[in-house]
Amino acid sequence: MITVSEVKLKADIKKFVKFPFTLYKDSPYWVPPIIADEMDSFDKDKNPAFKDADATLFLAYRGNEIVGRIVAIVNWIEIKQQKVSKMRFGWFDFIDDLEVSKALIEKVKEIGKKNNLEYMEGPVGFSNLDKVGVLTEGFEEIGTMITWYNHAYYVNHYENLGFAKEKEYMENRFPFANADPKFYAKANELIKKRYNLRPINFTKTKDVMPMADKMFDLFNESYASLSSFVPITEIQKAYFKKKYISFINPEYIKFVVDKDDKLVAFSIVMPSFSEALQKSKGKLFPTGIFHLLKAKKQSKEVIFYLIGVHPDYQNKGVTAIIFNEYYETFTARGILSCVRTPELEENIAIKQLWKNFDPEIYKRRRTYRKNL
């Protein structure tokens, strides 16, 4: 018999966070989160997402054994301002037992109906900077710190529970050797001259911070037209700066500004922390922090996390400036491989952006939808 309990106490939140450590203990591909950071994500006093969203955590038990988990999310910005009547759910993990996954989804369904919502979609997080999608291809590829990994049987559970595909995401990679300067070096100079633009590079994290709010504003403008986009609020900016910027080498953050120093484009790249996180086993201390710091300095693989271009400058070749700056940085650092975060299949512009790098689609993931 399966019982599902709402998670409220801190001790139970820790059980919720640590459940995947048991579920994936034998997987060489699963990348654990940092337990303390994951706990903070569900702390209403620390995560500003709770200012505009409600989240309810559930654990499924068989006897005293935890066999599944899920988070039910109501994003009020999405519902009230954007008029999208969606019940979100994420952090959905379970053993290969349909009774377990069904019992958890029923809890999400109950909350959705209680709030008179039209449908549920997942797995998704609070916002577009959270993890998204269930993995459908690429199970034998190591995960990243910014994506969920899951067993192959998850897809069968979604389909058996009556869900249909909502959005498809692709993950690409390419050898840095594919980043041939002939595709952007000349354009870099022409674009800078034509639009009176210049790049800004950083060597210290503290120098990034004063411009980070402008970066998040531009992020909102750049992605507003994509489906399921929920803008970052003012209070979330400080949270994300603290959560992400410190993890990123300052030289991996590139800005492009106009003659008035107005930000027109940005890009954020992260070193790969996958193997370091596996070694740390979710803990920063006593040795985990050293594995992460070593990866930050020495990783030869990078992850293109975000690229944003102001709508007035889209399709004008501004990314040639960014690519040219990265080429010089990555060459100096001896980077060998480049990975891109999940991108919507419908995002034709992003496909055009990367076409000259001859990328390989090595993973696919999707969100699923079911009417309430």
The confidence score (pLDDT) of residue 228 equals: 66
In the numeric block, which tokens belong to residue 323? 């690519």
Per-residue CA distances from 210 to 47, 325, 334 (Å): 21, 21, 29
Question: Max Cα separation, the chain?
Answer: 69
Burial class (CB in 10 A: 0-12, 13-18, 19+), 250: middle
| Domains, the chain, ordered by start | 2-170 (3.40.630.30), 175-363 (3.40.630.30)
Report residue 278 as tokens: 């596996």
- Nearest residue to 272 (alpha-carbon basis) of 363, 208, 334, 337: 337
Residue 321 has what pLDDT? 96
- Cα–Cα distances (Å) from 85 to 103, 125, 161, in that order, read 23, 16, 20
From the list 196, 145, 169, the residue with the least C-alpha distance to 37 is 145
CA 21 to chain centre: 20
C-alpha 229/C-alpha 215 separation (Å) is 16
The DSSP bridge partners found for residue 53 are 75
Residue 94: closest CA among 104, 109, 85, 81: 104
Average pLDDT across each block of 10 residues of the chain; the chain has 372 residues. List them in order: 96 98 97 96 93 96 97 95 95 98 98 98 91 97 96 98 97 95 91 96 92 89 76 82 82 96 95 96 93 95 93 92 96 96 88 91 98 97
